[in-house]
């Protein structure tokens, strides 16, 4: 009788540990999927911006044909930005830095393009251009929101896999930390606006 009680207690303890382990594993998988979903939204917004650029360039090209160097830099930066791909299941700091650098180049090229358009009053009054510019501004805001959501999701995931005893489960099953979006170098300095 005493031996059967001991066996039942051991089985109950093993079952409790197994249920705990399964629960932690499932929580980590769920958090990992949330990071992937958040990353997909970031990519979705960058794709939206990328899709708007040919329309914007075509609209500006009609008015500013001799600004071909600026237009070419936007097209080249867009091509480069669409080639940099990050695997959301293995977001390393290096991958994120390369992705951010490519997207930063595209942002700078777009900034130069929008600055050039200031020289063309007819273009600034063109309804297509105004609509594309508004869509681009909206997309930039959406990108910021998506990046913040990704960072929040990555933070929750990283916290989950780093706390004890979850870190033991995470290391056993190969869950690794996710990289964050970080501000570009020099972003801490306020831009100088001169009129």
Q: Minimal CA–CA distance to 119: which of 70, 73, 54, 72? A: 70
- What mean pLDDT is predicted for residues 156-165? 93
Q: Minimal CA–CA distance to 67: which of 120, 136, 133, 132? A: 120
Domains of the chain: 2-173 (1.10.287)
Round to whole Å and give the CA distance between 159 and 105.
Answer: 32
- pTM for the model stands at 0.72
In angstroms, what CA-CA distances link 112 with 6, 61, 94, 158?
Answer: 76, 14, 27, 38
**How many CB atoms lie under 10 A from the CB of residue 117?**
21
Helices (H), 84-126: 93-116, 121-125
Round to whole Å and give the CA distance between 50 and 135.
Answer: 12
pLDDT at 32: 93
Mention every residue, 6+ apart, whose C-beta is less than 8 A from residue 104: 184
Tell me the per-residue pLDDT of 30-70, one tens digit each, with 9 for 90 and over: 999 999 999 989 888 888 888 888 887 777 776 666 566 77
Tell me the per-residue pLDDT of 72-103, one tens digit each, with 9 for 90 and over: 777 788 887 877 778 777 777 788 888 888 88
């Amino acid at each position: 009788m005493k031996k059967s009680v001991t066996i039942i207690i051991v089985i109950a303890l093993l079952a409790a540990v197994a249920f705990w382990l399964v629960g932690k594993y499932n929580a980590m998988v769920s958090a990992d999927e949330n990071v992937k979903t958040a990353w997909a939204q970031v990519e979705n917004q960058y794709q939206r911006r990328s899709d708007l650029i040919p329309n914007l360039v075509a609209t500006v090209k009609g008015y500013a044909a001799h600004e071909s160097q600026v237009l070419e830099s936007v097209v080249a930066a867009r091509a480069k930005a669409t080639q940099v791909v990050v695997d959301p299941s293995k977001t390393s700091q290096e991958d994120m830095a390369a992705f951010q650098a490519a997207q930063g180049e595209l942002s700078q090229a777009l900034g130069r393009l929008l600055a050039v358009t200031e020289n063309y009053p007819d273009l600034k009054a063109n309804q297509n251009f105004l609509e594309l510019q508004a869509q681009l501004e909206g997309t930039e805001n959406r990108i910021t929101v998506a990046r913040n959501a990704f960072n929040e999701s990555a933070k929750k995931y990283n916290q989950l896999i780093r706390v004890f005893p979850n870190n033991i489960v995470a290391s056993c099953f190969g869950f690794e930390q996710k990289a964050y979006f970080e501000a570009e170098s020099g972003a801490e300095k306020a831009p100088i606006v001169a009129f």
